[in-house]
Structure 1
């Protein structure tokens, strides 16, 4: 193995993780352009990296919650022993009603409270999970999904902070409900849809691919409201106005992130920067408001952020500059736009 191959072998994992400097990135990209087999090696290592990251994310389960689940099993075992003892007492005293009353009391005071599981994704990464009812969830970058280890009761409820795509198992008797950081929630009976509900965002957007969903929210009068949409539509809830708006949706664009793509179709630069901010965990500071008059059309697939910014700069008069964030408490990179 020659020196260049050794360098590439060491640089490739760091390049995929976005930790190479400009010179190292140029070396890897030159190597990728040399031969198609190099691209195949890169794709294979990228897939391995993503799978490993997803496995790491899926292991992010609260230890205290796991212990609580174990303690729950121990309490149930004690209850069964007590019930067995009471059966013997009841048989001797010929008071069958006694065991029924006490058993009901014990079970009611120890109703099923399944432990909660949490999945978190790092910036730039996604994760896939299967919920207890068979529902498939793909979690986007920088998001948090919390759900019970077992769905009990009349509904299947979980909470989302960030963005996720759901393929929900149908069960008309047990509605599927996604709670968001605000008071709004999405009610589902069996469908495929996307929810974008980041904690610091002023809106919540649900885009429907197939089936039927409804946005549940309270208006300014604190009245419970429900807004249903049909496939090909999106419903947008504003936390400021406590109201919703229904629009026609470009489903392919809204859900392109699932396959690792970013698709823009005459998308305003404000929305483009919003998307990049969430995907790469950076902050953009627009210095020149004229920037907002631009729009962008294109498909970006697994590109590094600096490369995406180069493409945006080439297709417009926009310029980008990495600067030091004056807020030392913030770990996010700050990028000026002018």
Structure 2
């Protein structure tokens, strides 16, 4: 390994995974210390290794099953409310992992209702199995809340961020997704993607199969409904209460759940949005002319700097990793990239 040359990506991944020999480890460390650019590349690879390792760990988490398994450890019956609360605190402590799972209890006249909350960290993707057999993929910085057991004639969940739903058919119980905005989706059995980040003031629903009924407050402050067909994408602006319909290329919008990045004549701004969520990165665009570009290509398991290299080679877009000005936790902070 020649420290005068660019250390390849695999060597850096092996370094952070601890599989290099002592000699190789010293060579990589010497290369990292040579220049500021080398340190930036190493930091990016370290984040990628951390994110990939975490995704592999949490990808198959079944939130309901996880809670049940933990509760077995505390199976002794408690005789008062105080000990019951202490039990929940112990459970929450065990489940503090990059995919944060917590429980909420609501007391009713009949019996307590238990809700499970799932949150994904920036740059993380997780899979959640719901009590009815439905499956949900949560994208970066997303939130899902569902009851431990669906009762009554509806299956209600709450989401914020981005999620892909594969809903189990049950004609007797509608599946309802509630968002932070005045919009909800009602389905019986279908697959669809929904994006509802609070900071965007928008809900974007993309139907893959089946049908979805959207209910929202329109410009006249009355409830309006729309029935979606497969390949429909409906964007709802919570501020203007306007709605737009388009027919997107579905793999570009849903590839994230499989750990992929797929572009097809994807505008520059949309591509940056995809990469921002996938790699927890903040892009600083120094040249507005870059927004005239669009990109096509699949990136199976590719890392951020390799996708940026594709940008450079195909469109002459240059990039530079920038050290954040504040923050000491280099794992949790956003990667900052300038584009010019």
TM-score (norm 2): 0.69
Per-residue CA deviations over 1:200-238 (Å, capped at 9, x if unaligned) read 223211111111102221123321111111011111111
Matched, 1:187 2:186: yes
Structure 1's unaligned 5+ residue stretches are 1-6, 25-45, 77-107
| Range moving further from structure 2, 284-293 or 170-179 | 170-179
SS in 2 for 1:200: helix
CA distance in 2, matches of 1:8, 1:323: 19
Structure 2's unaligned 5+ residue stretches are 1-10, 20-27, 33-50, 82-106
Q: 1:22 to 1:160 in 2, by over 3 A?
A: farther
| Range moving further from structure 2, 302-311 or 251-260 | 251-260
Match of 1:166 in 2: 165
Q: 1:9 to 1:116 in 2, by over 3 A?
A: same
Per-residue CA deviations over 1:303-322 (Å, capped at 9, x if unaligned) read 22122112111111222222
Match of 2:57 in 1: 52
| Alpha-carbon shift at residue 271 of structure 1 (Å) | 0.3
Q: Which has the larger radius of gyration?
A: 1
Match of 2:337 in 1: 335
Asked whether the 8 Å contact 2:186–2:212 carries over to 1, the reply is yes
| Alpha-carbon shift at residue 251 of structure 1 (Å) | 2.1
| Alpha-carbon shift at residue 59 of structure 1 (Å) | 9.1
CA distance in 2, matches of 1:22, 1:158: 51
Match of 1:11 in 2: 15
Match of 1:3 in 2: none
Point out 4+ residue stretches in structure 1 off by more than 4 angstroms. 7-10, 20-24, 46-49, 55-62, 72-76, 326-330
CA distance in 1, matches of 2:291, 2:52: 36
Asked whether the 8 Å contact 1:216–1:225 carries over to 2, the reply is yes
Q: 1:275 to 1:151 in 2, by over 3 A?
A: same
SS in 2 for 1:257: helix
| Alpha-carbon shift at residue 123 of structure 1 (Å) | 3.3
| Alpha-carbon shift at residue 260 of structure 1 (Å) | 1.7
SS in 2 for 1:315: helix
Match of 1:259 in 2: 258
Per-residue CA deviations over 1:266-295 (Å, capped at 9, x if unaligned) read 110000001111111121122211111111
Q: 1:59 to 1:133 in 2, by over 3 A?
A: closer
- Root-mean-square deviation over aligned CA pairs: 3.8
Q: 1:59 to 1:311 in 2, by over 3 A?
A: farther
| Range moving further from structure 2, 307-316 or 118-127 | 118-127
Match of 1:99 in 2: none
Instruction: Write the mapping of 1:75-114 to structure 2, written as runs, cut at 5 A.
Output: 110-114=109-113
| Range moving further from structure 2, 273-282 or 149-158 | 149-158
